């Protein structure tokens, strides 16, 4: 008799859309990030087999970086490769970890296999960027090539090159394979900026020691990204 009553009560709760037990596990809800408000907590695996939970980093400032990764299906975003190299260079060379008590987390909305494959192609992406900046003389007769040269020289002023067996990983690479974080922050797209394919809008969030969003930058074009000099100016102002 008691079992029948309990079963009936649980059925009524389910029909009413209420949790059957206050102890039932609740999946964390990722909400859009608003300036001056705490970033939703999340926990994601890393490419090297560890796990990162945002709330466990309280007491440190955090920069969340969401690269576009692909600009079309199976076509690498070479500007993302340059951004990775440039940010990694500044992070290490300028000692941002200690200088700003900072952790940088790089978020990929893909599996470990896809992410690892993308990272392995970083040398080719950096070579592509250098090719755009320094086209052959005969190619400069094409106005589009010349225009793109001017753009890439402006937004990619430094030269980076990686050996295939010496690709640095200066910060944790987070795997948002289920895309709960990317979709919750309204960054994940199947088409953006003229490219069809799974991708994130290139974005950067800076959180203070309590997890509050102090800066956010959501790109409006694939060339619209804050560089490390700009980001350091922001960190000096808000952290």
178 located within any domain: yes
Q: What is the pLDDT of residue 27?
A: 61
Report yes or no on 13 lying in a domain: no
Distance from C-alpha of 210 to C-alpha of 39, rounded to nearest angstrom: 9
pLDDT at 24: 45
How many domains does the chain divide into? 1
Is residue 23 situated within a structural domain? no
Low-confidence ranges of the chain (pLDDT < 50): 1-3, 5-6, 8-24
Beta strand residue intervals within 13-127, DSSP E: 43-45, 51-53, 61-66, 70-72, 75-76, 102-108
Q: Please tell me the predicted confidence (pLDDT) of residue 13.
A: 41
Residue 25's pLDDT is 52
With respect to residue 216, please indicate whether it lies within any of the assigned structural domains. yes
* CATH (domain of 168): 3.40.30.10
pTM of the model: 0.87
Residue 6: inside a domain: no
- pLDDT score at 74: 87
In a domain, 185, yes or no: yes
For residue 8, being part of any structural domain is answered with no
Check residue 64 and give its pLDDT: 98
Find out whether 89 and 160 touch, Cβ atoms under 8 Å. yes
Over residues 78-94, the pLDDT tens digits come to 999 999 999 999 999 99
Tell me what pLDDT residue 169 has.
95
Q: What is the DSSP letter of 30?
A: P
- The Cα–Cα gap between 159 and 133 comes to 10
Each residue's pLDDT tens digit, 47-85:
999 999 999 999 999 999 999 999 999 899 999 999 999
Q: Is residue 49 part of a domain?
A: yes
Domain carrying residue 169: 32-238
Residue 26 is predicted with a pLDDT of 61
Q: What is the pLDDT of residue 180?
A: 98
């Amino acid at each position: 008799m008691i079992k029948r009553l309990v079963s009936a009560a649980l059925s009524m709760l389910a029909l009413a859309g209420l949790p059957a037990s206050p102890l039932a596990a609740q999946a964390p809800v990722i909400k859009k990030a608003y300036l001056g408000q705490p970033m939703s907590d999340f926990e994601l695996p890393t490419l090297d087999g560890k796990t990162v939970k945002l709330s466990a980093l309280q007491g440190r400032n955090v920069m969340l970086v969401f690269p576009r990764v692909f600009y079309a299906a199976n076509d690498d975003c070479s500007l993302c490769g340059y951004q990775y190299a440039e940010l990694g260079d500044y992070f290490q060379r300028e000692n941002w970890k200690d200088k700003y008590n900072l952790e940088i987390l790089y978020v990929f909305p893909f599996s470990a296999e896809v992410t690892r494959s993308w990272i392995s192609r970083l040398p080719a992406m950096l070579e592509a960027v250098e090719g755009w900046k320094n086209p052959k003389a005969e190619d400069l007769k094409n106005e589009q090539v010349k225009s793109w040269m001017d753009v890439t020289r402006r937004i990619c002023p430094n030269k980076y090159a990686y050996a295939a067996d010496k690709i640095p990983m200066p910060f944790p690479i987070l795997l948002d394979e289920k895309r709960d974080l990317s979709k919750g922050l309204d960054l994940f797209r199947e088409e953006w900026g003229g490219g069809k394919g799974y991708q994130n809008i290139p974005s950067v969030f800076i959180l203070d020691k309590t997890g509050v969003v102090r800066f956010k930058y959501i790109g409006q074009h694939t060339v619209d990204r804050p560089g490390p000099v700009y980001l350091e100016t922001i960190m000096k102002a808000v952290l």
